[in-house]
A and B are shown apart, each in its own frame.
Chain A
């Protein structure tokens, strides 16, 4: 799925990042546990769906070269978190719906989970 489709399907606000239609995401990982994110995400076309909203989410994404994080349940990162994402070219989106719903909607549209 490309970024514009994702934004439309789960009604995201763009927090930061350059939105280009060329971004192609094939897999998603929904988790609040960063150790699992570090252990299981294997490629950088994966996006992260999380309700956790702190600096370590951005650090985790940086370590494994993730380019897109979607915060669910209306979570809004603080300025320092946004700055950290900008430094690492990570796009941040936010949606008011739950992790379960966001995951389910994207799955219906063809997105798949990570291989464990």
Chain B
């Protein structure tokens, strides 16, 4: 099964709608609540990242027999130093974003912790792509 969601970078207040929908889909499928929780946290952090850091993007959910795969891909600006971006506490977020409760440099490490497999690729100036796999 495949579900695709377009994520806007223009409206922070609507960020999370895709994650909310994904959580409902997983619930309907009767997936274990602990697995759903991990998938929800990872998707939500990825969605927030697209909303606050990128020029917009999308989240694609693939549900397979033994795993949930979430791909989050945006249209740039890309990450210059991925190693630094993965470090807890490192963030390029603005003061406004921090005031809204995010941007403390916890998002990517949180996503990795929730995943069984995690990869991040980025081309500076072009895109960032996260691939998250959670075994069911």
A binds B: yes
The chain A residue sitting closest to B48, CB to CB, is A56
Can you list, as one digit per residue, whether each of B99-131 has a CB less than 8 Å from chain A (1) or not (0)? 011101011001001000000000000000000
- Total B residues in contact with A, Cβ cutoff 8 Å: 23
Asked if A105 is at the interface of the complex by the 8 Å CB criterion, the answer is: no
Q: Does B19 lie within 8 Å of A59, measured CB to CB?
A: yes
A77-104 vs B, CB cutoff 8 Å, 1 = contact: the mask equals 0001000000000000000000000000
Cβ B16 vs Cβ A35 within 8 A: no
Alpha-carbon gap, A34 to B98, bound state (A) = 10
In the assembled complex, the Cα of A63 lies from the Cα of B48 at a distance in Å of: 13
Interface: A116 (CB within 8 A)? no
A-side interface mostly: helix
- Contact of A64 with B101 in the complex, beta carbons under 8 Å: no
Whether B13 contacts A34 by the Cβ 8 Å rule is no
Is the CB–CB distance between B101 and A54 below 8 Å? Answer: yes
Instruction: List residues of A (24-78) whose CB comes within 8 Å of B's CBs.
Output: 32-36, 38-39, 52, 54-57, 59-60, 62-65
